Structure 1
Amino acid sequence: MWVMLASALAVLSPARRLAIMLLLCATLAGFFTDTLRWPALLPLAVSALLVWLRVENPARRGLQVMTETALLLTAGGLFLHLWPGFQPLLQVDNMQAGPRSLPFSFAYHFDKALIPFVLLACLPTLFRTRPFPPRHISAWLLLLAAIPLLLYVAVCTGGLAPERHWPAWLGRFMLANLFFVALAEEALFRGYLQQRLRQRLGNLPALLLASLLFGVAHVAGGALLVLFATLAGVIYGLAWHWSGRLWVAAGVHFLFNLTHLLWFTYPALQH
């Protein structure tokens, strides 16, 4: 089921009908395996109704605004796991990646994986929009170099320490992190929020504000995590702004998280 859901996300941009078919199959499998329970029908049905209203009434400006607002709120609820009926499938429970790492858990989340589907109905250019490439290709190299640099700064502040890992659950982590974390979060913060903010405020304010909102979304981890998530959001925001491609931002996000896991204490240093 989870591979089917990941496949639906992988083909959502180039083959939307195939993606919807795969999503429907994954949803049915979710109900049969008790990953989805009957309360999940409400946000699923409401989202489907809102999408139908948007598609069938493209010229009604007021209705378009209303349905986009409702779909954005739905996506926010999916991001925060507020909607009932979605059961996470636990993959790692209170386990250490290494001897100096804090114990952590991660799960597959069906609700968060739905965010790109919901937001694509709001914004057809979610996956691909106008790029603003840098003047020199070296800017991309500097952007990628910022990933280990930011992690090293976290080492200097005492939040992380160098520690190599190759856990047995690495494959499950990569599947979850690419499709159900990085893509979902980039769809919300870059593909939708930064793009909408750019349309209204311009390039730099959109980049900074979307990055700050991304940082605030990590407030549960404390002030230091908010700061580093905001700086990481600038990296992801530049990748999206320069390429105009959601998958590029998601790929950079995934690369950041993977570098963190493989080479540093994950998720943080155990004091």
Structure 2
Amino acid sequence: MPHVTPLLVIAAVLAMAPYLAAAFFADWAAGRARTLPAIAQMVLPALLCFPYVLVSVDAGAFSWRWLAVYAVFPAAIALAARAMPEEAVWSRLVVLLVMGLAVDLRWFEPAWPAHLSVFNKVLLLDAGIYAFVMLRPLEGTGFDLRLRRCDVSVGLKQFLFYLPIALVLGLALGFLHTHALSWGDVVRLPGRLAFAWVFTFFFIAVPEELFFRGWVQNLLERRLGRSAALVLAAILFGLAHFNKRALHFNWRYVLLAAIAGVFYGRAWREKRRVGASAVTHATVDSVWSLFLR
């Protein structure tokens, strides 16, 4: 558990601000970004380097090289997005591929103390949000976390569709494990489940659903159609888990994540809202972490 300092708190607020602004005030944030002068539009994402400065100075690990990375990379993403016309589907997918590889292969995580590498994921998410939600919004993304009743109902419906498949396959493959609960566990369960769900929703489910469904599946639909886009986005989502919880290619995780991705994609596609698929995703992950890991 990292020691919480004022600089760390300020860095966390700065890192979360673009994410939350776009999630709850997308139209306002996009309107403000698009009315800025061109030079300001390019300088603004470079300011994402400030959380790195605060955290690294606080940890005594500041590096000019990493400062340059966190200033230039978000600005480059924004520049690429600004230069692309709406119909440039494959070009946008290439940009997203680079962003996804940066996260999945942990290109920039050496910049951070090990227990604070989550900042890297949040800042790269901010870079994508600025480029594809604020500066050049990708139509049909559905990035709005003001949850509606339909988000919850659709999300839970797809969770229930996936649950029996996950249980049968996961237990058969030895990926899932059942555990006996003590009375103390039962008493603490509601609070633990609520905390796990909220944390997972905001820090895992929403970022991944925005990327794989709101952006990748959305773009693929324009060239491949709804069904092929659903399956391909799910496969890519599964492959993104190849190095999770293992030092080798974790094929069990990849398989179950890819199948889950189909149901996450169905939830997003039904209402074209990231909130719906994030409800499915957060519920799956919370149940897994508390009952079946």
Q: TM (normalized to structure 2)? A: 0.65
Higher helix fraction (1 or 2): 2
Instruction: Compare 247-256 and 162-171 and name the one that shifted more.
Output: 162-171
Q: Does 1:12 align with 2:27?
A: no
Distance 1:197 1:24, change over 3 A: same
Q: Which residue of 2 aligns with 1:257?
A: 285
Write out aligned runs for 1:1-271 (5 A).
1=9, 4=13, 5-6=15-16, 8-13=18-23, 14-15=25-26, 16=29, 26-34=51-59, 37-38=62-63, 39-51=65-77, 53-54=79-80, 57=83, 69-70=94-95, 72-83=97-108, 85-90=110-115, 109-120=118-129, 121-122=131-132, 124-125=137-138, 127-128=141-142, 142-153=157-168, 154-163=170-179, 164=181, 177-220=200-243, 221=246, 222-264=250-292, 266=293
Q: Which amino acid aligns with 1:86?
A: A
Check 1:58–1:173 CA distance in 2 against 1; reply closer, same or farther (3 A cut): same
Contact 1:108 1:180 in 2 (8 A): no
Tell me the matched-pair count.
241
Gaps spanning 5+ residues in structure 2: where? 1-8, 34-43, 144-151
In the superposition, relative to structure 1, how do residues 149 and 86 fare at CA in structure 2: closer, same or farther (>3 Å)? farther
Helix, strand or coil for the counterpart of 1:250?
A: helix
Q: Measured at CA, do residues 262 and 241 of structure 1 come closer, stay the same or move farther in structure 2, by a change above 3 Å?
A: same
Alpha-carbon spacing, 1:23–1:242, altered in 2? closer, same or farther (3 Å) = farther
More strand by proportion, 1 or 2?
1
Unaligned runs of 5+ in 1: 91-106, 130-136, 267-271
Letter in 2 for 1:46: V
**Native 8 Å contact 1:127 1:247 kept in 2:** no
What SS is found at the alignment partner of 2:22? coil
Quick one: distance in 1 between partners of 2:161 and 2:85? 44
- Which whole-Å deviations, capped at 9, do the CAs of 1:23-60 have from their partners, x for residues lacking one? 67644432333397423323322234325535765679
Provide the aligned C-alpha RMSD in A.
4.1
The code of the aligned residue for 1:162 comes to T
- Give structure 1 regions of 4+ aligned residues with deviation exceeding 6 angstroms: 17-22, 58-62, 64-68, 167-172
User: Are the structure 2 counterparts of residues 52 and 230 from structure 1 closer, same or farther at C-alpha, using a change threshold of 3 Å?
Assistant: closer
1:45 & 1:37 partners in 2: Cα distance? 14
Give the superposition deviation at 1:195: 1.1
Seq. identity, %: 24
**Alpha-carbon deviation of 1:117?**
2.3
